[in-house]
Structure formats: C-alpha cells, structure tokens
Structure 1
Amino acid sequence: MGYFLDERCGVHHLVDQEFEHNRQSTLKCLENSRYGGVRSAFENAYSHFDSQPQDTKVAVRSIFEALEILTKLMAKTDKLNKSAVENMLEPLALRQCGTDETARRAVHKMFLGFAEWVDAIHFYRHGQGQSEPVAPSIDFAVYALSSGTGFLRWLLTIDSNELNAGS
C-alpha cells in the first residue's frame, strides 16, 4: 500500500483509485448541513485509517458511526442494528421502487446484506472480553470502509429523495 498527497498536502494511504474516488464523491454528498455529524464520523473513519500507525479499529467503528447517525436522521430509532435496517431503512428504499418487482427483490436482498454487514461490524464495536484489544486487519478495514461508504452513499440518496418527496 502506498501513499499520496491531497491538494492540502495531507498524507493518505493509497489503496487504489476507486477507494479514493468513493471517499471523495461521498464527501460531496455530505455537504448539506443536515449531515454534519455524519460527515464528521465519516472523516474520522478515514483519518484513523490514514494515521500512523493505522487505527483500523477506530476507522471501522467510525464508518459504522457515520451510518448510525444517518439512520437516526432517517428513521425513529436510537441505534443501527439488524432490526433498524430491515424494519426502518429497507421500507424507505422499497417505497422508492414503486411497483417494479425486480427492483424490490434486488433492494430486499441488498438490505439483507447490509443487515449482515451491521451485525459483523458489531464484533469490532464492542469489547471482545480479552486482555488485548482486537483490531481488524488492514484488508478487513479496507473492505469495511469501502462497503460502508457504498451503503452510506445509497442511504444519502434515499434520504434526499424522501426529503424531496415530502416538500
């Protein structure tokens, strides 16, 4: 894994161009003041991933936190868990599918995967009951950040569509 300098001379781990593109395009989606807390947690995730030494545990926890904050903005819940994904977020996405049964089936399957992602991340969000903290590997952190960023972008679009439909 290499490094690159951003336009402000910040040093970042270079996973690949797609990883960086997803980070930057998601930051653009987070410009609305409604998403200030989401953006802060999102930036924190990548900041800890870029730190020396890398703090993959905080990076993974922070991408989860970004998604949890957005979930709290979108739905009446106090936490992001499998139930919130299936019972609060998925119905919002399904509403946007209208009567397109193919889209509805695909969205349902994607949200089943998101619910499993949420459950998997909980292993790193909570203490493991060991004397030494267990941090995810760099490869796991890259996947968690990449997939979490993808879910975040999709939920931001769903939220934006819901807000626009309500106005």
Structure 2
Amino acid sequence: MSDESVPVGRRFSQVYLQPEALLPDSKRARMRMGHVVAQYMDQDTFGIVLAKKLGIPVPSNYRSAPHWPYILEKMELRDFLDTITVLHHTLERKFQQDRTRITQERLLRDAREIFEEEQIAYRIDDQGGVHLKIDAAFEGERVSLISGLGSARYNNVRSNLDAMFRALDESPPNYKSAVRDIFSAAEGLFKLSFQKPLQMNTTEIQTRLKPAIDRIYSDNTYALRSSQKQVESLRDWVDSVHFYRHEPSSEEPSSPPPETAILMVSQGMAFIRWLAFIDHQIMRSQPLPSPEGTS
C-alpha cells in the first residue's frame, strides 16, 4: 500500500483488521452499544419498558449506566438487536417534537457508526428497526439505487424494490419473492421508458432498448459496443429470472439457493440503475409539447 493510498486519521483496526465477511455478532459492538443505551435511555424506566416489550428479565442494576455494556453482552442476539428499536421508540414522546427528532437522529447516527465500524451484518432503518445486511457491497448498491430513483415518476419501481428488500429481511429470507420483485421493478421501469411493450422479454428488449442505445451512443463507438453487450446481458438476466417466476399452468418453481438469488438481485439492481439512466436520456430527447393553438 503506497503512502498516497493509506487512509489518514482512521483507527488502525479500521484500516488493517477488517473482517473479510460481515459478522453475525460482535462483543465489541455490544459493549459500545451499551454505552449508547446508557447515554440515551430514561434511567428510571427503560429497564422496565425493555422487560415488558421483550419478555426478558432485566438486571436490577439497569439504572446504573456503567452496567449496560455488560447487560447487552449477556443478551440473546435477538434481544440485543431489539433493544435498539425499543430505545428509539421510547424517545418518541420524551421531549418536544424538534428535540425528539434530533435526539432520535443522533441515536441512529451513533448506532449505525458502531454497526459499520464493527462490520456486523445488520443495518438500521430510519425508525430504529434492525434488518439483515447481505454484505457491504450489496448495501452500497442498495443506497445508491434508491437515491437515484427519487422522483415521483419512479414510485412504482420503488414500491417493488421495497417489497424485494422486505422479502430479504424475512427470517429466513424469501429469496423467491425477492427475485420476482426485482424483476417486477425492472419490468415496470422498462414499460415506463418505452410505453408500448406489455412485458419485458428478450424480444422487446431487442426491439425497444437496442435502438435507444444506438441513438444515445451514436457518437461513441466503444461505449456503443459495450452497451450493446449489456443489452445482451439484460436479455440473459431476464431469461434466468423466468425460471423462478410462476407462469399460468406451470409448476410452481422452488426457491433459488441464496447465492443464486443474491446474484440475480444484485444484477437486477445494477440493470435498474442503468435503465433509469436510459430513461432520463429518453425523456430529455422527447420534444416539448406545442403550445395550444400552434402546430
């Protein structure tokens, strides 16, 4: 690693001791979260609320902040993760509205920082709910994709993506539904861009998408050739997903194995981001409607 590429100002462990895969649990994360819980909890009531919500015994010393790292360390994993959600919810009516919002945001920031730095396999949503994270690369793709589909035009696409993420969050993950939902998101975007096709299949992709690609990259030979190969890849992806989509009068397919499902979902997310770019280009190339009374 050259001097220019060495991260500056980060802890040694974050640079050189990161695990190769996300961790299912972490003692360090539990200990660090214990200090966070102690910082944000209501000292007199949080232990009682936690016992009531989770149905677990909470030590009598819960009012003492220094004990919370050890309380969390001894919890079952499910209770440790649920504690974050319960703590977030207890803050909802603790202060006036603005202060409550700021406090909850700070809690989420602190908890997410711990999860990220300790590389554990969970993410925390904006309401304090904890979800399984596939891996760091998948999470990065998820965030990038959602941020690129912010306009109302893509509401239906986002709805299908939300369904896909919920399917992956199930325990165990519902991989078959996830694959179907990612296809629905891609097909919805394809129909939105080209309007005429009734479905996204290999024929329609060749008929609709390839000419659009030819126009967009007409002045860039290498980009054109590369993008034409991506059109072929999209056709192959569509064919691969069809094995797990239930068709009328056909046998219900079994669920894809996890590694196959995550591959198809990840590829689908990349194709959706690409198709969104194509959609922007198509929208930009469409002429504005003429004012009334003019030709």
TM-score of the two chains, using structure 1 as the length reference: 0.91
Q: Does 1:69 align with 2:188?
A: yes
Gaps of 5+ in 1: none
CA drift at 1:55: 0.6
Q: State, as a whole percentage, how many aligned pairs show the same letter.
A: 34
Confirm or deny that 1:129 pairs with 2:251.
yes
Residue 43 of structure 1 deviates from its aligned partner by: 1.1
- Structure whose CA Rg is larger: 2
Alignment equivalent of 1:114, drawn from 234, 244, 264: 234
Question: Larger helix proportion, structure 1 or 2?
Answer: 1
Q: Which runs of 4+ in 1 moved over 6 A?
A: none
Q: Are the aligned partners of 1:44 and 1:59 in contact in 2 as well (CA < 8 Å)? A: yes
Distance 1:12 1:96 in 2: 39
Picking from 147, 151, 162, the partner of 2:282 is 162
Aligned positions of 1:6-17 closer than 5 A: 6-17=125-136
Whose RCO is larger (CA < 8 A, sep 6+)? 1
* Letter in structure 1 aligned against 2:224: R
What is residue 52 of structure 1 aligned with on the other side? 171
C-alpha contact 1:60 1:124 (8 A) present in aligned 2: yes
Decide whether the 8 Å contact of 1:77 with 1:84 is kept in 2: yes
Q: How big is each residue's C-alpha offset from its partner over 1:105-137, in whole Å with a ceiling of 9 and x where there is no partner?
A: 11111110110100110010125626xx50011
Deviation at 1:45, TM superposition (A): 0.7
Deviates more, 1:81-90 or 1:116-125: 81-90
Write the deviation string for residues 37-56 of structure 1: whole angstroms up to 9, x where unpaired: 11100111111011112110
Question: SS of the counterpart of 2:131?
Answer: strand
Matches of 2:215 and 2:259, distance apart in 1:
35
Q: Deviations over 1:18-77 (max 9, x none)?
A: 211111111111111111111100111111011112110000000000001011111110
User: 2:225 & 2:281 partners in 1: Cα distance?
Assistant: 20
Output one character per residue of 1:91-118: Cα deviation in whole Å (capped at 9) or x when no partner. Answer: 2122110222211111111110110100
